[in-house]
Amino acid sequence: MSRILIVEDEAIIRTALRRLLERHDYRVSEAGSVDEALALDPKNFDLVISDLRLPGEPGTALIASVAPVPVLIMTSYASMRSAVDALKEGAVDYVAKPFDHDELLETVSRVLHQHSSQRSPPPDITDAGGSRQQMIGECHAMQAVYTRIRKTAPADVTVLIQGESGTGKELVARAIHQQSKRAAAALISVNCAAIPETLIESELFGHEKGAFTGASAARTGLVEAADGGTLFLDEIGELPLDAQARLLRVLQEGEIRRIGSVETRHVNVRLIAATHRDLRALSKTGEFRLDLYYRLNVMQIDLPPLRDREEDVLTIADVLLEKACRRHERNGLRLSRAARQEIRDYPWPGNVRELENALERGVILAEGHLIHPDDLGLHPARPASSRLPLEPMPRTVDPVESEQDENGDDLSLEDYFQHFVLEHQDQMSETELAQKLGISRKCLWERRQRLGIPRKKQARRSSA
């Protein structure tokens, strides 16, 4: 559904035009002046219809401010001079007041069609299961993403994708690979946060038999497995420093050396990296190599969070709802009007992944044919200090001392986690911390992100 902004100082004309457009399934907002229009962020609309004569600045002042959104000028001074002047300033067309309803609707439809045809189409993707899907979203931020994917994919350069968790970084990586010259080769995806720190070098670069305890056979690393294709490293900000040094050599020289080997192997790999962290800031604290950051950041793609894609939220929700209904064999379920309003208003800190989970929850819990707000289970996000961890925290190390602070007050489970990590992270590796806490290394990383506890990495000599 296209969004149209009407800028008209006469309330009667503005209301009549809004009702006409809404009867033809357009979403309409109103403003009485250029300043009021700019306050509504007009770049998020598909079309601006503005009167030429307005209080303060004329309607043509919007043309440059809202570009590339088209501006259709209305004027009650239907002289050829005013029309030509508006077109010269960049207006897409003009209509004369009093306007004919059919003529106006035809003009609006034509302008919207022309504008949409100039947009970059969402790329088609084959997902991990082999089925075809298309990236969803028509907002300007996603249009910029589609354009960057289209231009970057054939160039065979390293790409850095930045965006919050759940925004679809792996989908973008898959789209780049499938539109590249390497589409026929493999795409190897690795989550750097999900592999134990002690094993990540072996996973990425391989090892020889006997290279370390437990290495009973030689193993090919994932970088070598991606030879000729694409390697996608998700959450690259969690890569240990010694593995960063090895990766830098892959990018600089196209060479790898398995752990325990003296033989150098040449690989031809395109690297796509993704992170939700600021790698430049991490390089200043010594947690990420600056030279590697420069090697990675040849081309950067920034993914917008879902809260900045207001006009896409319900479209995405409808697509995800249909998939969830098929999975759970509940065809015919729809979102109630209140549920749609709740989805539109919710800030979505977990982005598209959180939206997908909420809709799946709604499909499972819904009674009848409508999903209501209670079925979605959405609640305002609470501060990190008040949230409970996802699973109980075992008290395996000094529980008596760790459960009480200096004043003798009981600590919450998250306070206990934070206290333990900060006290022991200088003496323990991430793997050891996770083992002592009785959780996985990935769970430890996720809780660090949620509580804002910085991870201290210690530089070690590279074995590359």
Judge whether 359 and 324 are in contact, CB under 8 Å.
yes
Distance CA 9, CA 51 (A): 8
Q: Is the peptide bond before 305 cis (omega within 30 degrees of 0)?
A: no
Distance CA 436, CA 129 (A): 37
Backbone angles phi and psi of 159, in degrees to 5: -125, 135
User: How far apart are the two ends of the chain, measured CA to CA in Å?
Assistant: 55
Q: Is 403 inside a domain boundary?
A: no
pLDDT value of residue 114: 76
Place of tokens 């459960």: 403
Place of tokens 């919450």: 412
Residues 372 and 310 in one domain: yes
Q: Which domain holds residue 92?
A: 3-118
* pLDDT tens, N- to C-terminus, the chain (464 residues): 688 999 999 998 899 999 999 998 899 999 999 999 999 988 888 899 999 889 999 999 999 888 888 999 988 755 567 777 888 888 888 888 877 888 899 899 888 877 765 666 778 777 655 667 778 887 878 888 998 898 899 999 999 999 999 999 999 999 999 999 999 999 999 999 999 888 898 899 988 888 887 778 888 999 999 999 999 999 999 999 999 999 999 999 999 989 888 888 999 999 999 999 999 999 999 999 999 999 999 999 999 999 988 888 999 999 999 999 999 999 889 999 899 999 999 999 999 999 999 999 999 999 889 999 999 998 754 444 444 444 444 434 343 333 333 343 344 566 667 778 887 888 888 877 777 777 777 778 877 777 777 765 554 444 44
Give the distance from CA 223 to its chain's centroid.
25
CATH number at residue 339: 1.10.8.60
Distance CA 25, CA 383 (A): 39
Where is the domain boundary, 286, 302, 318?
A: 302
Give strand ranges (E) for 124-181: 124-126, 132-134, 159-162
Q: Is 384 inside a domain boundary?
A: no
Distance CA 158, CA 154 (A): 11
Distance CA 276, CA 162 (A): 6
Pairing of the two strands 132-134 and 124-126: antiparallel
Judge whether 111 and 70 are in contact, CB under 8 Å.
yes
pLDDT value of residue 232: 96
Residue 426 has a CB neighbour count (10 Å cut-off) of 8
pLDDT value of residue 119: 64
Judge whether 49 and 6 are in contact, CB under 8 Å.
yes
Which residues does residue 48 pair with via DSSP β-bridges, in sequence order? 5, 71
Where is the domain boundary, 302, 323, 350?
A: 302
Q: Is 167 inside a domain boundary?
A: yes
Residues 314 and 286 in one domain: no
Residues 247 and 271 in one domain: yes
pLDDT value of residue 1: 67
Where is the domain boundary, 262, 282, 302?
A: 302
How big is the chain by its Cα radius of gyration, in Å?
Answer: 27
Helices assigned H by DSSP within 153-235: 169-178, 200-205, 222-225
Q: Is 214 left (phi over 0), alpha (psi -120 to 50) or beta?
A: left
pLDDT value of residue 118: 63
Residues 7 and 85 in one domain: yes
Residues 173 and 282 in one domain: yes
Q: Is 285 inside a domain boundary?
A: yes
CATH number at residue 92: 3.40.50.2300
Q: Cα-Cα-Cα-Cα dihedral of 433, 438, 444, 446, to 10°?
A: 180
Residue 121 has a CB neighbour count (10 Å cut-off) of 13
